[in-house]
Amino acid sequence: MDISQYKTSFCSLIGKDSSGWGLSYIGNFHHKGKAHNYTSRFDHGAVIGVHLDTWHGKLSFFKDNEPLGVATKGLTSKTLYPVVSSTAARTKMRLQRSSSTSFSLQYLCCAAIGKSLPSLKALESLPIPPGVKRHLCNELDWILKVHLPSKRSS
């Protein structure tokens, strides 16, 4: 991004150009200099998560561990650089977890299960071995949450 035009101003640069996508603390999703409402404003102490699915080219966000749905699609074959920033007064941020995994059969199976579940609670009634169910709930629940049907229309 060419930031030379912003040398003397204090403003958010989230999604100002065609190479940027981002979520602001007021709940707007930004891209190409435009914003649309995506979620409600972040409460004090909110925990925001980001999931970039490079396999399918989708960008999704979480708020307090709840999926907010797909924010944008069509991100395959792009070089992307994750950035965390805020222009809000008294903002505190902490990166709690960052990971990158290659797609495995395990991931693809979890994604398929997540897409077919109406909710994470429905996992309890699946006819699968208890050890597999425990592993899904304890270690791979983030995959299931990302692929659960969205609560909002996309």
Residue 100 has what pLDDT? 64
Same domain, 71 and 39: yes
Residues 117 and 62 occupy one common structural domain: no
Q: Do residues 110 and 134 both lie within one domain?
A: yes
Please indicate, yes or no, if residue 7 is contained in any of the structural domains: no
In tens, the pLDDT along 25-77 reads 889 999 998 999 999 998 888 888 888 888 788 899 999 888 999 999 999 88
pLDDT tens by residue, 126-152: 888 888 888 888 777 777 777 776 654
Full residue range of the structural domain in which residue 110 is found:
101-154
Cα separation of the two ends of the chain: 28
Domains of the chain: total: 2
Residue at 17 is within a domain = yes
Distance CA 110, CA 108 (A): 5
Task: Tell me the per-residue pLDDT of 79-98, one tens digit each, with 9 for 90 and over.
Answer: 787 677 777 777 777 766 66
Residues 17 and 91 grouped into a single domain: yes
